[in-house]
Amino acid sequence: MRAFTAAALQVQPRPDPLTSESVDANVAHCVEWVRSCVAESRADLVVLPETCTTGFSHGLGPDELWDVVAEIPGRPTQPLHEVAHDLGIHLVYGAYERGPQRGIVYNASVMVGPAGSTLGVYRKTHPFCTEIVTNGGWTTPGGDACVVDTALGRIGMIVCFDGDFPELSRILALQGAEVIVRPSALLRSADIWELTNRARAYDNHVYVIGANATGADPAGTLYFGNSMIVTPTAEVVARGSTYEQWVTARLDPGQAMTSLTPGSSVRQGFDHLADRNLALIKNHLDTLSSPGATAFGYRRATGPRHTDERTQ
């Protein structure tokens, strides 16, 4: 990883009913904000929110949503690839992605390189309870972690609710991620948003860039923004408010892990990855692989919520 400037850019989706025309309008809006952000901040990496091309909630079922969105890369999102090329930046955006057959829609995060090419596509592996297709929603879970080699460093991708699951970010860190990007349309509290961003950064000694939606989406759901950039020692070095804006920070690997806590003269001597008790993990692989109990002490009676699309 080299030192670079990162930006978390929070934008508001159009509140209109979701159509192919509104997707085009959302993409154009994102492009306009990306251009302004880079012109003023000189950011090398810009991260947009989850489903910034449509808004998160939209009132459509999986079949109808499949008809509106497209494959990635595809015509509707091409302007985002073109602006990355024009500005010579890395760009991460969130979009619903049309799957291989009607009714399969992924909640994707896309990494675009300075040449405008698609460097990586991550499909959200932990859809939120309201969106997952097996619970009456519209999103089919992905099944793979994603770390992308870029000229800036190794960047891992998660999406919103994924940040509640420490295992995924740990997998990315073990695969060499130095930065984790988290496009989001978080529906809960600002406290949970900050807690999970800081915890995933601290757990894994990585930078976390969280870009959260703001404003209302087509279903009228409101988002609170508060996009942030967190250092590997859990320090929030940039924080947004509740309106459309960007926040930026300089990510420097030479200063990321120098002290125990921000501003301390005590050097950090531990490493959460190297210091793991692997024997303990091996002894409890069955436990880690089990569905587990709920917070109330009983197991789910409905079975697993994540169903592979091949079984549908």
Instruction: Report whether 94 contacts 52 (CB < 8 A).
Output: yes
Q: Compute CA distances 303 → 125, 240, 306, whole Å.
A: 17, 39, 9
Closest by alpha carbon to 119, among 95, 141, 96, 151?
A: 151
The bridge status of strand 4-10 relative to strand 245-251 is: antiparallel
Catalytic option among 30, 97, 160, 178: 160
Rounded distance between C-alpha atoms, residue 74 and residue 153, angstroms: 26
The amino acid that residue 214 corresponds to is: T
Active site residue 167: no
**Residue 194 per-residue DSSP state:** H
3-state secondary structure 31-45: HHHHHHHHHHHCCCE
Q: How many helices and strands (H and E) does the chain possess?
A: 7, 14
Active site residue 160: yes
Residues paired with 112 in a beta bridge: 91, 118
Catalytic option among 124, 131, 146, 178: 124
Cα 115 to its chain centre, rounded Å, is 22
- Give the number of other CB atoms < 10 A from CB of residue 157: 29
Instruction: Report whether 152 contacts 7 (CB < 8 A).
Output: no
Q: Which residues are catalytic?
A: 50, 124, 160
